[in-house]
Structure 1
Amino acid sequence: MKNTFDDLVFSLDIGTRTIIGIVAQHTEDEKINILGYSIKEHDRRNMYDGQIHDIEGVTKIVEEIVEELEGKLNVKLKKVSIAAAGRSLKTCKVRVDKKIDETLEITKNMVDALELEAVQKAQNIVNEEQNNNKLKYYSIDYSVINYYLDDNVMTKLDGHRGEKIGVELLATFLPQMVIESLYTVISRAGLEVGTITLEPIAAINVAIKEDLRLLNLALVDIGAGTSDIAITKDGNIIAYAMTSKAGDEITEILSKKYLLDFTSSEKLKTQLNSKDKHNFNNIVGMKYELTTEEIVNDIYDIIDEISREIAEKILEFNGKAPSAVFLIGGSSQMPGLKECLAKNLGLPKERVSIRDISFIENIEGMDNNINGPDMITPIGIAIESLNKKYNNLIEIKFNGKEIRLFNVDKVKVSDILVLTGYNPRDLLPKLGEDFIYFVNGDKKTLTGGIGKPAEIYINNKIGNLNTSLQNGDVVEIKKGTKGEKMIPYLYDCIPREKIIFINEKPFNLIKYVKVNGIKIEGNPKLKEGDKIEIIEINTVEELLEYLNEDVSIERILLNGKKIKGNEKLEVNDQLLFLPTNNIHLIINGKEITIKHEKKEFLFVDIFNYIDFDLTKPKGKLVLKLNGEDAEYMAPLKDGDTIQIFWNK
């Protein structure tokens, strides 16, 4: 029975050294059945480090694979699933800080806008480093390393207040030319792109299942041109990286060591993991009979160098050695490589292992030619397509323009803003203009009102920066608005009263107010730059002068205490003006008038007004009041007769 393409998936892994095509289908018991495969090497250097250079050369091999598989399976292949090389990814670590209004609570929208600004900064850095124009790179993903509040590390910013917020993140980008060259090859081969993913994503979804990604693991795809690294932690892929040393370095060192041409060196390299003894002739006819161990010892330095660079990249992006490392790719099978990598990472050697397809569950139709670590990525591409996790590039209409995005995962509104260079500050509300005025010569500023944050609509429904998008969605953003300039009234800018209490009665120290030199009545609306002068009473002496009170400083209590000088007056001060009293007495036969401020004048108070020394007794002290013996605390009244003497 002839298969139809609706039942099948055709995937291509377009690599530096080989191109692998696989046709597979889901079985009734939910297994994946490999119906056919084709593996072809490039007959010349069509690709360098995973990037297509000779489009015609790559197209020719793809056409040969299509013809072979169509002949084997009696099908017409129309659509193909492909993957962009992970080695083309660029990562950039950036930090962005932004001053904020410390009176406002930090919202999620503010944090999202901060992250978006950081991703755009990373995109600009990547574009400048690669000498590409703006928008030449797709934003793939990013992971937050740290948040900052006033330069202090925070795990979360929402709900806090401060003067400055910041974020440090690791952003990942893919160049547009990688996608364009892949699409060109597929189109010229008479095919359509059905789905597209990234090679490290396809590989990691097969090699490291989601339930293992809670662990800190590294997946290293060691190919011909580069070694590509993906790192997982806490359930996520947290970083992508690459080194420029891989299998070709081993091929070249073999060529130089034994004087072999490139093809012979490549053949010798691939046999090192499958044969113990090797017989070959070099270009001048010299014969070699060497064991794998002898050859590995001869080229150990380059094996160690490759592993050391991989280890350094893992440590750079992970900060420490991961819990374990999985190796895939054709060059991962190089004898001694995994042991060197374990040594350079400081891991036990059993923590670095080669992943082949033997551990993949629910897969059928494999034979000995497609069971190695070099088949992880092509099978991963096929599985990704069968699971329909990634559906090609998607088109979104953004503010009236058509935008195409690479659909590596859930595409969010924020991804469009990064791609289009949308200014994240347009998402936030803006403060209105400040109102400037002066009070007694001091400049004052009234901050403008707060505007409204941006409104994000997806298909005419309200959304946010994290709203997921589908192909054909229409996204519109209404920019955040600017708040109004606040025009105050006079009493919004100055106190209407400055109250103290005189003998328990309230008194306003503010006499009147001038605006631009003119005395003002009422509460008028101010104009920009108005100069306000508050005429007020500031000291006790100014108060007595204003009240026209003939009261001496000695008769005034300020907050219950006698004042010593011209005290400054403050709001809610309590002043007490003491009354002046006279009492007429006859003391030892002499009439005396005494002025005092007491409510009650006592016998003992006399000694403050007469010359009588109590410190030098001359007998018994006798006190008489109107002819009777008196006590010290006896109250006195006008006309009382007093006698004070020593009785010897």
Structure 2
Amino acid sequence: MKNLFALDVGTRNVVGLLVDYEENKIIIKKSITLEHETRAMEDGQIHDIEKVSETVLKIKESIENGEENRVTQVAVAVAGRALVTSSAKAEKEFNPKYEITEENVATLELIAVQNSMINLSEKYKEYHCVGYTVSEYKLDNEYIKNPKLQKGSKLEVEVLATFLPKIVVDSIFTMAKKVNLEIINLTLEPIAAISVVISEDMRKLNLALVDIGAGTSDIAVTKSGKIIGYEMVPMAGDEITEKISEEYILDFSEAEKIKRELNKDIEKVGYTDILGMEYEIDKKEILGKIEPVIHELSHKIADKILELNGKAPQAIILIGGGSLIPLLRENLSEAISLPIQRVAVRGTEIIKNMVDKTNMLTTAEFITPVGIANMAINGRGFKIISVTINRISHRVFSFKNSITLRDTLLSSGLSMKKLYSSSGNPITFKLNGKLRFEKGEIGQLATIKVNGEKRSLEDEIFDNDEIEIIYKRAGRDAVFYIENLKKEYKNIEVKINDEKKILEPIIKVNGEIKADNYLIKDNDEIEVKEKFLAKDILDSENSLKFYINGKEMEILVPNEILLRDNKELDLNSEIFNGDILETKKIDKAMLKVKDVMDITEESEEIKVTVNGEIINFGKIGVEILKNSKKTSGEDIIENGDRIEVAGSSSSKLILSDIFNYYNPEDLIKERGGVLQIELNGKKAEFITPIKNRDVIKLYYAKTFKK
């Protein structure tokens, strides 16, 4: 690999490297470092894309320095701000006769990464995956460093994938585009750093790597041969600078210069405050002022390490420009209870396969940019393409070699459900007392075109493709008429006095008969009567007024009777399809008690449960009274009659009635004490009324004398 451009966009500085890779050596050809002229970045997040782009452009032009070193692509990393991690595993069976290929391994890693995406909770669905680390490989249940070219029956891989909010990732892509650079590899800063600082052999140790920059302190922890987690503290070198600025009334850049002077072997530090006054002050005094902030930073880092690891690690490796802050090692050592010798600041000398032709990469702040180059060299990034969806630009991240239209739409945040137009609103109404739904028109799938041609969701998408989604209209609301409802019921055809007559179901809406073109509305209550009785087809002319249980009733009484097979039918007799009927006029219209009340259904079977056994009292009838006198269903109702329904004496059951069926001594095994009675869980007495489905419990309770 030749002329790889690696870029580390930090909170305070931007570092650019031009790198070659030969014979397993990372060769640093050029190195350019520039400081942001303004605070264009905070806590690892780009806040002013324009200003950061200007700085990156200067580095790019310095790196190129002629056509032979022209760069159009770049490898970058993002800080761990708002970092989320998710671990997952994947496994696959292989034929043990054949060697496992590099593609086999990469595919399995991809599946594990996709599984980690699935494991994320819903609130992180708008996050981008910015990299992953393989925690371990297992071949036939045995740990192995590299399964490539090995033979075995089953390969397992565990990965730790990292995710960041889209705004963090999108801002760095926008910056790259402004300086005409294509990002070919994107990863996370702690992943990049650990790739060159802690080798796979070292990961057997329980180590913590802390990359302290200007805005964030990124943490990675290794144990038992794998990386167990990443974390981030949103505090770093800038808080030290701000404390100096506050104490000595300095602008930020002047305070930053003082902070750097503290690393030198000097006794006094000179500075000029914002009022133009010049001072010279003891370095020890400044260290005393900033030590509380260093103490706070050290404890926050220690807390995160303990949260990840559960205990203090064997050692802590500090990298990044912020690691050079005086007193940091001492404070961190104390905060996490490790000997000071176990907390070390390391520079690029730890990277064994690096050849620095610039002789400039000596301190800890250059480890991350070298790690970014290393990640790109080893192909640990992922495929990134840019597309437009309905003229809006989107970037698609994928670990797969082939990105489908479905992948693209999902990556853009588009829900598959949105490809369907909304369905029409349903109608909800009651039909004979039960809820009924009539659905609206179902939504339709959108038409999707790629570069003007209709495509399916499984078609492959390429860089700079233009995707157009043509959404279909919403489904129409449900429309349902009385006429539609009538089709669900059958008509009855009869002959009356030798004339054919069609009887259609009687449909009432909210108590009223409506025309066939009535449009049923939400919450309508519809009653359909499809059974016809004799009284439904007889002419009714005489009005009869009477009372049932005190409620006034007025009924039109037929002035004719209905005959079937020369037999008179009661008014409540059912009419059937094909009946041959005859009507006959009568002198006086009559209405019988049974025509207005179904006496046979006024009885109820009473069953109760006593200590687990069921007692059936049989059907308890009712009494029908007309004008306070007992009557039968055949009695004729006259104007002004008062009809009442009353329970018979046999329907008034009380709890003691159960003893007519069995002796309680037969059910209660433990005797002695006072008999206790419970009805439906509450205390009861012998005269307590009982009803159908009641649960009775009988038992003895012992009494004690004081």
**Alpha carbons 2:319, 2:367 under 8 Å: kept:** yes
Equivalent in the alignment of 1:202 = 192
Cα contact 1:119–1:142 (8 A) shared by 2: no
Tell me: CA distance 1:89–1:177, structure 2 relative to 1, closer, same or farther (3 Å).
same
Alignment-derived partner of residue 390 in structure 1: 381
Query: Which AA in structure 1 matches 2:243?
Result: I
Do structure 1's residue 274 and structure 2's residue 264 form an aligned pair? Answer: yes
Quick one: which of 53, 67, 70 aligns to 2:47? 53
Query: Aligned pair in 2 of structure 1 residues 271, 312: CA closer, same or farther (>3 Å)?
Result: same
Write the deviation string for residues 80-100 of structure 1: whole angstroms up to 9, x where unpaired. Answer: 111122234124899xxxxxx
Tell me the SS of whatever aligns to 1:87: coil
- The residue aligned with 1:238 is 228
* Structure 2 partner of 1:83: 77
Q: Counterpart in 1 of 2:426?
A: none
Q: How does 1:44-443 map to 2 (within 5 A)?
A: 44-71=38-65, 74-91=68-85, 120=118, 122-126=120-124, 134-138=125-129, 172-277=162-267, 278-367=269-358, 369-393=360-384, 406=397
Question: What letter matches 2:177 in structure 1?
Answer: S
Cα-Cα RMSD: 4.0
Structure 2 vs 1, CA of residues 201 and 406 (structure 1 numbering), >3 Å: closer, same or farther? farther
CA distance in 2, matches of 1:412, 1:319: 40
TM value normalised by structure 2: 0.47
1:26 counterpart (21, 31, 39): 21
Q: Which letter maps to 1:12?
A: L
Contact 1:143 1:238 in 2 (8 A): no
Please state whether the residue corresponding to 1:388 is helix, strand or coil: coil
Secondary structure class of the residue paired with 1:237: strand
Other structure's SS at 1:86 match = coil
Is the CA contact 2:385–2:396 (under 8 Å) kept in the aligned structure 1?
Answer: yes
1:599 equivalent in structure 2:
none
The 3-state SS of whatever aligns with 1:299 is helix
Distance of 1:344 and 1:381 partners within structure 2: 30
Q: 1:471 to 1:83 in 2, by over 3 A?
A: farther
1:10 aligns with 2:26: no
Once residues 319 and 51 of structure 2 are traced to their aligned partners in structure 1, the CA distance between those partners, rounded to angstroms, is 26
Where do 5+ consecutive residues of structure 2 fail to align?
89-110, 136-158, 388-393, 417-460, 464-706
Aligned to 1:39: 33
The CA distance in 1 between the partners of 2:308 and 2:409, in whole Å, is: 26
Cα distance in 2 for partners of 1:409, 1:121 equals 19
Amino acid of the structure 2 residue aligned with 1:84: V
- Give, in whole Å, the separation in 2 of the partners of 1:116 and 1:80: 25
Deviation at 1:116, TM superposition (A): 8.7
Cα distance in structure 1, aligned partners of 2:321 and 2:9: 14
TM-score under structure 1 length normalisation: 0.50
Deviation sequence 1:184-204 (CA, Å, 0-9, x none): 211221121222221111100
Distance 1:329 1:142, change over 3 A: closer
Aligned-partner Cα distance in 1 for 2:315–2:36:
34
Q: Is the 8 A contact 2:128 2:397 kept in 1?
A: no
Tell me if structure 1 keeps the 8 A contact 2:130–2:186.
no
Contact 2:216 2:232 in 1 (8 A): yes
Residue 74 of structure 1, CA deviation: 4.1
- Taking the aligned partners of 1:421 and 1:178, their CA distance within structure 2 comes to 19
Deviates more, 1:84-93 or 1:330-339: 84-93
Please tell me whether the aligned partners of residues 390 and 407 of structure 1 are also in contact (alpha carbons under 8 angstroms).
no
The structure with higher relative contact order (CA 8 Å, sep 6+) is 1
Q: For residues 291-322 of structure 1, give each alpha carbon's deviation from its aligned partner in whole angstroms, at most 9, with x where no partner exists.
A: 43332123211111110111011111211111
Letter in 2 for 1:349: I
Rounded to whole Å, the distance in 1 between the matches of 2:34 and 2:119 is 41
Closer/same/farther in 2, CA of residues 229 and 30 from structure 1, 3 Å limit:
closer
Q: Distance in 2 between matches of 1:202 and 1:240?
A: 12
Distance 1:329 1:410, change over 3 A: farther
C-alpha change, 1:367 and 1:297, in structure 2 (3 Å) is farther
In 2: Cα distance, 1:321 partner to 1:289 partner: 41
Deviations 1:71-125 (A, max 9, x none): 178421111111122234124899xxxxxxxxxxxxxxxxxx9999996564324
Distance in 2 (CA, whole Å) between partners of 1:219 and 1:351 is 12
How far apart, in 1, do the equivalents of 2:130 and 2:374 lie? Answer: 24
Superposed displacement of residue 281, structure 1: 2.9
Q: In the alignment, is the contact (CA less than 8 A) between 1:40 and 1:65 conserved in 2?
A: yes
CA gap 1:282/1:318 in 2 versus in 1, 3 angstroms? same
Return the offset for 1:228: 1.1
Superposed displacement of residue 394, structure 1:
7.2
How far apart in 2 are the matches of 1:117 and 1:92? Answer: 9
Superposed CA offset, 1:475-514 (max 9, x none): xxxxxxxxxxxxxxxxxxxxxxxxxxxxxxxxxxxxxxxx
Query: Match of 1:327, SS?
Result: strand
Partner SS state of residue 34, structure 1 = strand
Closer/same/farther in 2, CA of residues 192 and 229 from structure 1, 3 Å limit: same
Deviations 1:326-351 (A, max 9, x none): 11111110011011101100111111
Distance in 2, Cα, partners of 1:36 & 1:191: 18
* Cα distance in structure 2, aligned partners of 1:383 and 1:92: 23
Whether the 8 Å contact between 2:19 and 2:28 is mirrored in structure 1 is: yes
C-alpha distance in 2, partners of 1:201/1:301? Answer: 30
Gaps of 5+ in 1: 1-5, 95-112, 127-133, 145-168, 397-402, 424-469, 473-648
**2:131–2:188 Cα contact (<8 Å) kept:** no
Residue aligned with 2:294, SS = helix
Amino acid at match of 2:328: L
1:116/1:20 CA distance change after superposition, 3 Å: closer
Q: 1:229 to 1:410 in 2, by over 3 A?
A: farther
Q: Judge conservation of contact 1:218–1:231 (CA < 8 Å) in 2.
A: yes
2:604 corresponds to: none
Deviating more after overlay: 216-225 vs 288-297: 288-297
Contact 1:228 1:241 in 2 (8 A): yes
CA offsets per residue over residues 569-616 of structure 1, 9 Å max, x none? xxxxxxxxxxxxxxxxxxxxxxxxxxxxxxxxxxxxxxxxxxxxxxxx
TM-aligned CA deviation for residue 136 of structure 1: 3.8
* Distance in 2 (alpha carbons) for counterparts of 1:247 and 1:275: 20
Cα pair 2:30 2:358 within 8 Å, conserved:
no
**What's the counterpart of residue 565 of structure 1?**
none
